Structure 1
């Protein structure tokens, strides 16, 4: 052996002659070829690098949907506001397996008041002109029934306006709601709202994206993006990457159940499929201990097909 090369054989064994061999050169060539091959395949077959969806990009792309969603958050009628545990104590909400409410068992672990957390608190944290300050004061002073009447009336008016544009809403008694949602839209379009929701709770590290994601999910913009990129449940989205790129194929069994009834049309689909997969996983673990099932390989003699070379050699060997 010598630096950069080695020799096979020894002078004492002429049957195995020695020859020079540059190990460093081989390693270098292999490293370069593998690096080029990896880069080339990654360029050809890697998933697209989609830009992140934020409250800012949503509000700039579809301001009407953002405003409509903000009104539902303020009025407590959004999906998050009525979701139940782990976010709030909405009566009767949450998925069940039979009589067992899985969400209720876990309890409210991430308490969220959509009106306060998504709208009022971010507005209070940002520097506000007097008009918005007065609107916040009027909102806080009003009873819950009055707040509900304002948001309900404004939500109906937005639905009737052309393209749900707040600028074309018919006059009505909406209280401070138009001022609050208009200012929230300004914060979102400037990018400030994303930061406001991330820093709520006084956390130093901004790594909890629960609030921005829930706000996004309550609108139709995020769902429409998922639909266009083949990521929804009825498109086998759980095992897809963005677009038509394949993703996690090992999740086919989990996402398969979302395509068929009774799971497909059930409001408890998530809980039912979770329970079914837990049962199937338990059966898989217990296969060696279940009479009948554990004997299937012996009955079908599949093992003889797998080890056919061994059994073929056994038949040819003299006994």
Structure 2
């Protein structure tokens, strides 16, 4: 059997994952309901839907539309605020066996820093992933889009780095086209431990009969699915070549070979999103399939193939 474990440096220590498979934010809702289908501790890491500081109401907008080669989703944030999530959900998750990572969203930098500190102060939380689509709100009072100005970006990452303390800090690329190498380099410079190199891209679908958007409050949602895998692999490969930072890759995973491609492109961990919509036990089956496939290919550990891809 291949060694599937992953060890990511966090300050002077390492955070250990039993395998590289974890949900992307919004991939498994609040996680707890999936425990009916399999033992959640089988996953390399746990990540629920995005979390904000305060509890909110559940969006009534249509959340999902099956588009060409994937889905358009508008899942929003978890309706539970960070402390309510920890008290009601996290305590029932196997966080001592599979590290719990929270994806955080806020309406402004002050709120994001406060949220990061609150999450990092919870013993159940091993790390945080910062959604760089900040400010995250149509009604946000902060006019700055932090990924558009590298000075603002440095201010944001340094703020959440200090707030996160000794917990794992991952910076996630925004859902827009950016110079991903530059963003990753700034993340590393400002103290991030990891970088999520790809996420859903903003898209929409239109009903020609009703003349209405098919998904989301404002008409748009995150386009995700198999059709994005080539873009995701290229983004991961670019970051790997440019910046020495552990990469959390994501995009288009439907089978074990997809996972191996992401790792060969440079990934340490691989996030799975839309594939969980195909069947609730997709990820544990994927882990089993990955183990078998690595044996078939004669690969003994993930370190052996990470970033090994070369020109044809």
* TM-score, length basis structure 1: 0.27
Say which structure is richer in strand: 2
Asked which structure has the greater CA Rg, the reply is 1
Say which structure is richer in helix: 1
Which of the pair has the greater relative contact order for Cα pairs under 8 Å at 6+ separation?
2
